[in-house]
Structure 1
């Protein structure tokens, strides 16, 4: 059986199960959505979409097919988050480790998926209707040229928007982001534009990739792993963390709503 046939068979079986359960889920989903929309909605949600490769391996598929299914799921999740009222979404698409350590073939397929997704975002009606500014963050010196072009294109098309924001983190690492911020600050000190004693938390925040945005209120990670894996290290100091016990391609709107409901039930103290 070829990978293509296996892939179609896996999706067919998955969709049959989903179709049988859908009527019950829909009733619960509407009830849950009404409940969530009546409470405080997190302004900024970070997403770590983990488990694409394991999802594929469990179905006997090539790993890149898991990324392909994960990409389709990401579009759905973005729509769910925007629909419920979230204003800012930051997606951890690829880490610096992914960009340097994974096999070249897998990296290239991921770059192609991301570049294609960025070009689609630039034409997406919901982006323009909701005036969503799209920004691609990370170490762009690690990106292939076609990905740089796609990032530049979507950022240019949406640069005048700002009602909502979508950040796509590619070849991104929280430690590396802090290092880059420190280098920018050091250059300002070297040029005499900033005194060392003037450096504080706000100074560092202003030199991060996400300087134009508030810190995330909620970070959602799939696959059952309970860590943030070098994602928004500085910004997540007071973020609420939610770990969902399923692989990314399996996540449903119900799971996203549950994450937000869980966030609403927590008491945020910010160190007080």
Structure 2
């Protein structure tokens, strides 16, 4: 065993102690951006379940996950999303009691949902933020046309009420050293961003602890 491998467990415990020491500054809403290949890899799916357990243990209340499906053909994209949904449903049956989740398909419609008490997971399979905002605007315009909403009543709060995820993430995580997608483009305007060169299937508990510890050290300015 080399020196680094020997030191990792001690460093993990040190990070966990530091995080627990300031629980009031733990991110309550974490967003993760994944690629479709991350969840087709058994190790990637296993890492997701492990990450959810770690976040829940340290007081995170909500995790939003966007699976970036790169295929442009709608039928193929829908087929991939359907396969991923089935894999996620099967895996989520082992989540701890009290965990709830909602999985959205490529059209932004709810594929499956399960109620939760103290921890909730949103998953969007290929339905990005631009489509989310466009659909919200069209829905509101339809209500204005029908007369159920007056034009002067349309504001930010009304738009937000028509989005899939109505909560602003505290931090957004992108593994693999890539750029952000358009996930939660409205909700994440003041979110902290965290990029890691490590591919998702290789992400360790240590890496996730670093994310939370890094967040605790940041001074959030919310656009100021």
Asked whether the two chains share a fold, i.e. TM above 0.5, the reply is yes
Instruction: Report the Cα distance in structure 2 between the residues aligned to 1:206 and 1:233, rounded to whole angstroms.
Output: 15
Deviates more, 1:189-198 or 1:107-116: 107-116
Distance in 2 (CA, whole Å) between partners of 1:42 and 1:229 is 21
Name the residue aligned to 2:58. Answer: 84
The match for 1:271 is 223
Higher helix share: 1
| Cα distance change on mapping 1:190 and 1:51 into 2, 3 Å | closer
Give ranges in structure 1 of 5+ residues lacking alignment.
Answer: 1-16, 54-63
CA contact (8 A) 2:101 2:120 kept: yes
Matched, 1:117 2:56: no
After superposition, give the CA deviation of every residue in 1:143-200 in whole Å (9 maximum; x if it has no partner): 9xxxx7xx43xx1xx23x3422101111211100000101111111111111112111
Aligned mates of 1:248, 1:81 — CA distance in 2? 16
Q: 3-state SS of the aligned residue for 2:122?
A: strand
1:232 to 169, 177, 184: 184
Counterpart mapping for 1:188-267 below 5 A: 188-211=143-166, 214-225=167-178, 227-267=179-219
Tell me if structure 2 keeps the 8 A contact 1:99–1:171: no
Q: Which has the higher strand share?
A: 2
Structure 2 unaligned spans of 5+: none
- Is 1:27 matched up with 2:10? yes
Q: What displacement does 1:33 show?
A: 0.9
Please tell me whether the aligned partners of residues 220 and 241 of structure 1 are also in contact (alpha carbons under 8 angstroms): yes
Determine if the alignment matches structure 1 residue 139 to structure 2 residue 102: no
Any conservation in 1 of the 2:176–2:200 contact (CA below 8 Å)? yes
Q: Which has the larger radius of gyration?
A: 1
* Number of positions where the alignment pairs a residue of Structure 1 with one of Structure 2: 222
Equivalent residue number for residue 56 of structure 1: none
TM-score, structure 2 as length reference:
0.87
Do structure 1's residue 42 and structure 2's residue 42 form an aligned pair?
no
* Equivalent pair of 2:26/2:60 in contact (CA under 8 Å): yes
Q: Which runs of 4+ in 1 moved over 2 A?
A: 19-24, 49-53, 98-104, 106-114, 137-141
Q: Does 1:180 find its partner at 2:135? A: yes
